[in-house]
């Protein structure tokens, strides 16, 4: 039956950690990452990520991204960048207050291929650090290197990840 999810890896953070790495991508299938209730240990920080190659993050300046922010409290906006050394699976800065968390879905494509760029789509709902205002966010990213990637590393731009759950699935 097509469209089933097979869990590959999961990490539940219950005490602060510098980063979370999910690996296990080992086929040309589409993969999905679900993350929920991701909270930082420091106010006004943003969740970031990098692809992993043999379990280590790729820190090269080969990440491009584009997205649309849909804010409940003001106008929508576009965001894009090229040649960065990381990318964003997050709509806004979050904080330490109640409901100031990230919740999202990533779909990952071409990650196992060493002859194509790895890319993904992102859909996020975030409660930001300024009174948990609601952000919706949709976009995508690409790592512009032809290399086989086996996962993702998540981290905050300042401080640690205080809590939340990250799960990697294979879509079969």
| Domains and their CATH numbers in the chain | 5-171 (2.60.120)
Quote the pLDDT of residue 127: 87
Quote the pLDDT of residue 90: 86
Burial of 121 (0-12, 13-18, 19+ CB in 10 A): middle
Structure tokens at 62: 């080969």
Phi then psi dihedrals of residue 148, to 5 deg: -80, 120
Q: Which residues pair with 169 in a beta bridge?
A: 7, 32
pLDDT at residue 160 is higher than 90: yes
Residue 172, SS3 per DSSP: coil
Query: Cβ(132)–Cβ(98) under 8 Å?
Result: yes
Q: DSSP secondary-structure letter at 116?
A: S
Query: Which has the closest alpha carbon to 30: 120, 165, 137?
Result: 120
Q: pLDDT tens digits, residue range 10-39?
A: 999 999 999 999 999 999 999 999 999 999
Q: pLDDT tens digits, residue range 66-96?
A: 999 998 888 999 999 999 999 999 878 898 8
Q: pLDDT tens digits, residue range 129-158?
A: 887 788 899 999 999 999 999 999 999 999
Quote the pLDDT of residue 1: 45
Chain-wide mean pLDDT for the chain?
Answer: 94
Q: Does the reported pTM lie above 0.85?
A: yes
Structure tokens at 75: 């106008």
């Amino acid at each position: 039956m097509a469209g089933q999810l097979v869990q590959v890896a999961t990490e539940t953070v219950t005490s602060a950690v510098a980063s979370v790495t999910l690996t296990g991508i080992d086929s040309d299938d589409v993969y999905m990452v679900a993350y929920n209730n991701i909270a930082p240990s420091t106010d006004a920080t943003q969740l970031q990520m990098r692809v992993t190659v043999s379990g280590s993050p790729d820190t090269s300046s080969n990440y491009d991204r584009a997205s649309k922010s849909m804010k409940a409290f003001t106008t929508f906006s576009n965001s894009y960048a090229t040649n960065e050394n990381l990318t964003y699976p997050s709509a806004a800065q979050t904080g330490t207050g109640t409901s100031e968390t990230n919740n999202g879905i990533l779909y990952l494509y071409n990650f196992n291929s060493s002859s194509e760029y790895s890319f993904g789509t992102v859909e996020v709902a975030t409660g930001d650090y300024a009174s948990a205002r609601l952000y919706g966010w949709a976009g995508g990213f690409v790592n512009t290197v032809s290399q086989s990637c086996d996962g993702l590393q998540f981290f905050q731009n300042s401080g640690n990840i205080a809590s939340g759950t990250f799960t990697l699935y294979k879509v079969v």
